[in-house]
Each structure stands twice: as C-alpha cells, then as structure tokens.
C-alpha cells in the first residue's frame, strides 16, 4: 500500500471513525502480527521456513 492511499484512509477514519468492535479487531490483528514478528526476531525462523535458491536451468 503506498503512502497516498494510507493517508487517504487515515483521513477517512478521522472523519468517520470505525465502530469500537472494528477497532478491537484491528488492534487484535496488529497485536498478533507484532507477536509473530517478535517471536521470529527472538528465536529465528525454523529450518523448514527458509527458502533455498534453485538453480535456473537454461537450454
């Protein structure tokens, strides 16, 4: 999402704020994302999540 779309969305939220139920949902999703990032930062990713480079076969 580019910055201009984000600013437009924030302006829309400022003029017409979401319901408390939706705000709780948004905060819960952001909190879950932050917890996942923190766990990955502290413990690293498991070996099965690492991507290996595959050589390109050219004919």
pLDDT tens digits along 35-45:
999 998 898 88
Distance of CA 54 to the CA centre of its chain: 27
The C-alpha atoms of residue 7 and residue 18 are separated, in whole angstroms, by: 16
Higher pLDDT, 44 or 21: 21
Taking the complete model, does pTM exceed 0.85, yes or no?
no
The C-alpha atoms of residue 10 and residue 4 are separated, in whole angstroms, by: 10
Q: Which residue in 5, 30, 4 sits closest to 22, CA to CA?
A: 30
Query: Hunting for tokens 């930062």 — which residue is that?
Result: 41
* Cβ neighbours for 17, distance < 8 A, ≥ 6 positions apart: 23
pLDDT value of position 24: 96
């Amino acid at each position: 999402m580019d910055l201009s779309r984000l600013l437009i969305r924030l302006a829309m939220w400022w003029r017409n704020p979401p319901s408390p139920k939706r705000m709780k949902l948004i905060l819960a999703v952001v909190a879950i994302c932050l917890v996942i990032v923190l766990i990955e930062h502290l413990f690293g990713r498991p070996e099965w999540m690492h991507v290996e480079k595959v050589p390109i076969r050219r004919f």
